[in-house]
Structure 1
Amino acid sequence: MRLDAGIALATRHRRSLTVAAVLIVAAIGFEALRLVLREVHLSDVRTALHAVPDGRIAAALGLTAISYLLLTGLDWVALRGVGRPLPWRIAAAGSFTSYTLSHNLGLSLITGGSARLRLYGAAGLAFGEIAQVAAICAMAFWAGVAGAGGIGLILSDGIALGPVTLGPAAARAMGAALIAALAVLPIVRASGRESLGWGRLRIALPSLRQMAALGALSLADLSAASAALFVLTPHGTIAAFPAFVVAYAVAVVVALLLHVPGGLGVFETVVLATVPGDRPALFAGLLLYRLIYYLLPLLIAAIGIAVAEGWRLRHPIRRGLSYVDRAGQLLAPSAVTVLVFVAGLVMLVSGALPGVKGRLADLQDLVPLPFIEGSHMAGSLIGTAMLLVAPALTARLRSGWAAARVLLMCGALFSLMKGLDYEEALLQLIVAGVLQYCRASFYREGGILTDRPRWPWLVAAAAAVGLSIWAGFFAYKRTPYSDELWWRFAFDANAPRFLRASFAAGVLLTAASAWQLLTASATRSLPDALPPEDVIAAAAAHASRTDTALAFTGDKSFVVSAAGDAFLMYRVQGRSWVVMGDPVGPAAAWSELVWSIRRACDARAGRLCFYQASERMLPLFVELGLQAIKYGEEAHVATALFSMAGPRGKSLRHAVRRTEAAGAVFSVESAAVVPALMGELAEVSAVWLADKAGREKRFSLGAFDPDYLTRFPIALVRVEGRIVAFANIWVSGDGEETSVDLMRHRPDAPYGTMEMMMVRLIEWARDAGYDRFNLGMAPLSGMPSGRLAPLWARLGHAMYANGERLYGFAGLRAFKAKYGPEWVSRYIATPPGAAMPRTLIDLARLVSA
Structure 2
Amino acid sequence: MTMEKSPYGQTLWHMARRPAVRATAVIVLAAFVFAALHHLIADVKVHDVTQAFDAVTGRQIAVAAVLTAASYTMLTFYDVLALRLIGLPLPYRTAALASFTSYTLSHNFGFALLTGGSARYRIYSSSGIGAPDIVRIIAAAGVTFWAGIFIVAAIALSVHPSGLHVEGWLISESALRGTGITILAVCALLVASFGRKPGTLRIWKWSFPRPSTAQACAMIAVASLDLAAASAALLALVPGAGLGDFPSFFLAYALAIIATLLSHVPGGLGVFETVILAAMPGIDQPALLAALVMYRIIYYLVPLALASVLLAFHARRSISGPIAVTMEAAGGVLRGIAPTFLGALVFVGGMVLLVSGSLPALHDRLSGLRAFLPLPFVEASHIAASLVGTALLLLAPGLYRRLDAAFLLCRALVIAGAVFSLAKGLDYEEALVLMGIAALLQLSRPAFYRKTALTATIGSPQTLTAVGVALALVVWIGFFAYKHVDYQNQLWWQFAWHADASRFLRASFAIAIALVIFLVLRFFGHANPADEIVTDAPPTLEASNRAEAMLVLTGDKQVLRSQDGGAWLMYRIHGQSWIVMGDPIGPEREWPDLLWTLRERADRAQGRLLLYQISLRTVPVAIDLGLRLIKYGEEARVPLASFALDGPGMKSLRYAERRAARDGAVFEIIPVADFAAHLTELHAVSDAWLKQKGNTEKGFSVGRFDPTYLGHFDTAVVRREGKIVAFANIWATDDREELSVDLMRHVEDLPYGAMDFLFAHLMEWGRTQGFRGFNLGLAPLSGIEARRLAPFWARAGRLLYRHGGALYGFEGLRAYKEKFQPVWEARYIAGPDGIGFARSLVDLLTLINTDSAKL
Q: Relative to structure 1, is the Cα distance of residues 554 and 45 closer, same or farther in structure 2, using a 3 angstrom cutoff?
A: same
Amino acid at match of 1:571: M
* Structure 2 residue corresponding to 1:281, chosen from 277, 284, 287: 287
Aligned to 2:62: 58
Q: What secondary structure sits across from 2:382 in the alignment?
A: helix
* Structure 2 residue corresponding to 1:336, chosen from 336, 342, 363: 342
Aligned to 1:117: 121
Within 5 Å, which residues of 2 pair with 1:103-142? Answer: 103-142=107-146
1:149 aligns with 2:153: yes
Q: Distance in 2 between matches of 1:69 and 1:321?
A: 17
The superposition leaves residues 514-544 of structure 1 with CA deviations (integer Å, 9 ceiling, x where unpaired) of 5445539799999966549xx79xx9xxx99
Q: Relative to structure 1, is the Cα distance of residues 824 and 476 closer, same or farther in structure 2, using a 3 angstrom cutoff?
A: same
Amino acid at match of 1:253: I
Q: Relative to structure 1, is the Cα distance of residues 39 and 195 closer, same or farther in structure 2, using a 3 angstrom cutoff?
A: same
Q: Distance in 1 between matches of 2:555 and 2:139?
A: 49
Within 5 Å, which residues of 2 pair with 1:834-849? Answer: none
Amino acid at match of 1:41: K
Q: What secondary structure sits across from 1:396 in the alignment?
A: coil
1:230 aligns with 2:220: no
- Residues 333 and 396 in structure 1, CA contact (< 8 A), matched pair in contact too: yes
Q: Distance in 2 between matches of 1:133 and 1:621?
A: 18
Offset at residue 489 of structure 1 (A):
2.6
Amino acid at match of 1:179: L
Aligned to 2:4: none
Between 489-498 and 383-392, the greater mean CA deviation after superposition: 489-498
Aligned to 1:23: 27
Offset at residue 64 of structure 1 (A):
1.6
Offset at residue 437 of structure 1 (A):
0.8
Q: Distance in 2 between matches of 1:618 and 1:463?
A: 37
Aligned to 1:218: 223
* Structure 2 residue corresponding to 1:311, chosen from 314, 317, 335: 317
- Residues 639 and 771 in structure 1, CA contact (< 8 A), matched pair in contact too: no
Q: What secondary structure sits across from 1:13 in the alignment?
A: helix
* Structure 2 residue corresponding to 1:392, chosen from 390, 398, 416: 398
The percentage of aligned residue pairs carrying the same residue is 32
- Residues 232 and 289 in structure 1, CA contact (< 8 A), matched pair in contact too: yes
- Residues 740 and 776 in structure 2, CA contact (< 8 A), matched pair in contact too: no
Aligned to 1:41: 45
Offset at residue 420 of structure 1 (A):
0.8
Q: Relative to structure 1, is the Cα distance of residues 771 and 296 closer, same or farther in structure 2, using a 3 angstrom cutoff?
A: closer
- Residues 525 and 571 in structure 1, CA contact (< 8 A), matched pair in contact too: no
Aligned to 2:570: 571
Q: Distance in 1 between matches of 2:230 and 2:494?
A: 45
Q: Relative to structure 1, is the Cα distance of residues 85 and 524 closer, same or farther in structure 2, using a 3 angstrom cutoff?
A: farther
Aligned to 2:257: 252
Within 5 Å, which residues of 2 pair with 1:479-558? Answer: 479-517=485-523, 519=526, 530-531=539-540, 551=553, 553=555
1:94 aligns with 2:98: yes
Q: What secondary structure sits across from 2:405 in the alignment?
A: helix
Amino acid at match of 1:446: T
- Residues 780 and 809 in structure 1, CA contact (< 8 A), matched pair in contact too: no
Aligned to 1:68: 72
Q: Relative to structure 1, is the Cα distance of residues 107 and 324 closer, same or farther in structure 2, using a 3 angstrom cutoff?
A: same
Q: What secondary structure sits across from 2:587 in the alignment?
A: helix
- Residues 74 and 222 in structure 2, CA contact (< 8 A), matched pair in contact too: yes
Within 5 Å, which residues of 2 pair with 1:659-808? Answer: 700-701=702-703, 795=797, 798=800
Offset at residue 628 of structure 1 (A):
7.8
Amino acid at match of 2:214: R
Offset at residue 340 of structure 1 (A):
1.0
- Residues 713 and 729 in structure 2, CA contact (< 8 A), matched pair in contact too: yes
Q: What secondary structure sits across from 2:501 in the alignment?
A: helix
Q: Relative to structure 1, is the Cα distance of residues 194 and 363 closer, same or farther in structure 2, using a 3 angstrom cutoff?
A: same
Q: Distance in 2 between matches of 1:415 and 1:49?
A: 21
Q: Relative to structure 1, is the Cα distance of residues 112 and 197 closer, same or farther in structure 2, using a 3 angstrom cutoff?
A: farther
The superposition leaves residues 429-479 of structure 1 with CA deviations (integer Å, 9 ceiling, x where unpaired) of 001001111111111221223437543222212211111111111111112
Q: What secondary structure sits across from 1:38 in the alignment?
A: coil
Amino acid at match of 1:485: L
The alignment's TM-score, normalised by the length of structure 2, stands at: 0.71
Q: Relative to structure 1, is the Cα distance of residues 479 and 731 closer, same or farther in structure 2, using a 3 angstrom cutoff?
A: same
- Residues 730 and 741 in structure 1, CA contact (< 8 A), matched pair in contact too: yes
- Residues 56 and 237 in structure 2, CA contact (< 8 A), matched pair in contact too: yes
The alignment's TM-score, normalised by the length of structure 1, stands at: 0.72
Aligned to 2:87: 83
Between 833-842 and 89-98, the greater mean CA deviation after superposition: 833-842
Q: Relative to structure 1, is the Cα distance of residues 72 and 370 closer, same or farther in structure 2, using a 3 angstrom cutoff?
A: same
Q: Relative to structure 1, is the Cα distance of residues 284 and 777 closer, same or farther in structure 2, using a 3 angstrom cutoff?
A: same
Aligned to 2:165: 161
Number of positions where the alignment pairs a residue of Structure 1 with one of Structure 2: 743
Q: Distance in 1 between matches of 2:728 and 2:169?
A: 81
Offset at residue 59 of structure 1 (A):
1.9
- Residues 44 and 280 in structure 1, CA contact (< 8 A), matched pair in contact too: yes
The superposition leaves residues 93-121 of structure 1 with CA deviations (integer Å, 9 ceiling, x where unpaired) of 22222222222112323322222222222
Structure 1 unaligned regions, length at least 5: 561-566, 582-593, 646-668, 715-727, 744-753
The superposition leaves residues 259-284 of structure 1 with CA deviations (integer Å, 9 ceiling, x where unpaired) of 21121111111111121122212211
Aligned to 1:352: 358
Q: Distance in 2 between matches of 1:181 and 1:500?
A: 57
Aligned to 1:299: 305
* Structure 1 residue corresponding to 2:244, chosen from 215, 236, 239: 239
1:181 aligns with 2:181: no
Offset at residue 846 of structure 1 (A):
7.4
Q: Distance in 2 between matches of 1:359 and 1:510?
A: 34
Amino acid at match of 2:386: S
Q: What secondary structure sits across from 2:331 in the alignment?
A: helix
Q: What secondary structure sits across from 2:193 in the alignment?
A: helix
Q: Distance in 2 between matches of 1:457 and 1:671?
A: 55
Q: Relative to structure 1, is the Cα distance of residues 256 and 176 closer, same or farther in structure 2, using a 3 angstrom cutoff?
A: same
- Residues 485 and 495 in structure 1, CA contact (< 8 A), matched pair in contact too: yes
* Structure 2 residue corresponding to 1:470, chosen from 465, 470, 476: 476
Aligned to 1:657: none
